[in-house]
Amino acid sequence: MEYRQFGKTGFNISEVSLGTWQLGGKWGAEFSEKDALDTLAEAYDRGVNFFDTADGYQGGLSEKAVGTFIKTHPDVHFTTKLGRKEEPLSLEHFNPDHVDRYVDESLANMGVDALDMVLLHCPPTDIYYTPETFFELDKLKKAGKIRNYGVSVEKVEQAIKAMDYDISAVEIIFNMFRLRPANLFFDLAKQNNIGVLARVPLASGLLTGKFTADTKFSAADHRNNNRDGQHFDKGETFSGVDYLTGVKAAAELKERLGTDNLAATALRYILMYDAVAAVIPGASNPTQIERNTSAAELPALSEAQMAIVRDVYDKYIKNPVDYLW
């Protein structure tokens, strides 16, 4: 495992880290604390020292599991995201009063005195033009409740606008099916010493190359019930790619890249960009950790392989994905 500087936080974090949306159970499944703690332990044993969670994941149980783990592993860093655990989502959930309450609740959930990193959890665009919210985060940082703050975004424009404030990190969807962040945003992030976390790195599993036209997902799985944005931004599901188009594109990537392990190759692709501090694939159980961390051991992609990814993207994905996010 290699480690990268996480922007201006002073943290050195594993380039393959862990996202915990699925921690302790697959999407829509019952949470298992044992599976959650075993997954965190397996990740740590393989060199992962950074976990990304959120107050809304598994009704707060993800935060609690991460909090339990870090008590005996103080060298682990973490982010928690806030603002989306109460529905229906509105601007109000990101106002200073709510931010204060959410921070206090996350501190209690995790059992810590200060949060390493707080990210606003995909707030509506208007929040980026509401400086009071970010000024409140400045106050919380000065008070010692949070050490750093940033944003998790849906759109490149939101990430760029967030740099008007004293953010330390941006979490953004970036993968073989979502290339636009590399066009301008990555350069700006480096210029401003902003740590970049690449989320949804496998496009909700499409980039494992294991799905087919006949693959079925449970009724509670967002890959079944959010393809058109019924519950949240549709870009969160399959990176906004039409499912059958994504299956076809993934199959072509496997063939042209000559790999039976597209998932690890897809993660390694993201690490080719030095603006990225870490990629944060998820895992619902320990067996998936090896798949993720093996990406750090792969050789760099060649220029020809990088060109293949761009060609497949331009052929299948760019229109309309590039123009929407």
**Residue type at position 154:** E
Cβ neighbours of residue 28 closer than 8 Å, sequence gap 6 or more:
218, 219, 220, 221
Q: What is the pLDDT of residue 246?
A: 96
Both structure tokens of 88: 């229906």
Residues 170, 194: contact at Cβ < 8 Å? Answer: yes
pLDDT of residue 111: 97
- Give the fold, CATH level 3, of 3-204+261-300: TIM Barrel (3.20.20)
Query: What pLDDT, in 10s, does the model give residues 175-191?
Result: 999 999 999 999 999 99
Q: 168: closest CA among 325, 32, 50, 11?
A: 11
pLDDT of 274 reads: 97
Note the pLDDT tens digit of each residue in 14-57: 999 999 988 866 656 678 899 999 999 999 999 999 999 999 99
Compute φ and ψ for 250, nearest 5 degrees: -65, -40
Enter the pTM of the model.
Answer: 0.94
Q: Which regions in the chain score pLDDT beneath 70? A: 24-29
Closest by alpha carbon to 285, among 34, 30, 15?
Answer: 34
Q: How far apart are CA 170 and CA 181, in angstroms?
A: 11
At 28 the pLDDT is 62
Per-residue pLDDT, 26: 67
The pLDDT value given to residue 87: 82
